[in-house]
């Protein structure tokens, strides 16, 4: 019988949560080295932004930083690409609506 190898087994990863972040006030477990997008996906959250004009839901599209569908607000800073932003202990991630600049003096 052939033994199945998983990516986690290959790198020696553990399934323990190393820290938590919050998403719209809800605590979410995160592992060291995960992007914000990976943390949200792991928690079953697939959308975290709405488009500027139509208010359509968006989440990860390309997953490598080429598009801007995964924009999110992290610690009050809007327009962070969730797929490229590393999750840090205590991060406050919030849904981004439109351009994410409604409360900024621009």
41-51 pLDDT, tens digit per residue, is 999 999 888 88
- Ordered DSSP codes for 47-106: --EE-TTT--EE--SSSSSSS-TTEEEETTEEEEETTTSBP-TT-EEE-EETTS-TTS--
pLDDT band at 82 (very low <50, low <70, confident <90, very high): very high
Class of domain 17-97 (CATH, top level):
alpha beta
Global confidence as pTM: 0.77
Within 13 Å and on the Cβ side, how many CA atoms surround 50?
9
Q: What is the pLDDT of residues 16-42, one digit of tens each?
A: 668 999 999 999 999 998 999 999 999
CA 43 from chain centre, in angstroms, equals 10
Whether the predicted pLDDT of 79 surpasses 80: yes
Whether the predicted pLDDT of 63 surpasses 90: no
Other C-beta atoms within 10 Å of 88: how many? 13
């Amino acid at each position: 019988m052939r033994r199945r190898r998983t990516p986690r087994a290959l790198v020696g990863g553990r399934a323990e949560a190393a820290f938590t972040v919050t998403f719209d006030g809800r605590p979410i477990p995160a592992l060291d080295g995960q992007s914000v997008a990976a943390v949200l996906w792991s928690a079953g959250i697939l959308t975290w932004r709405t488009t500027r004009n139509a208010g359509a839901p968006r989440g990860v599209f390309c997953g490598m930083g080429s598009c801007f569908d995964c924009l999110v607000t992290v610690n009050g800073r809007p327009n962070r690409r969730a797929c490229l932003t590393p999750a840090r202990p205590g991060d406050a991630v919030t849904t981004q609506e439109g351009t994410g600049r409604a409360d900024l003096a621009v």
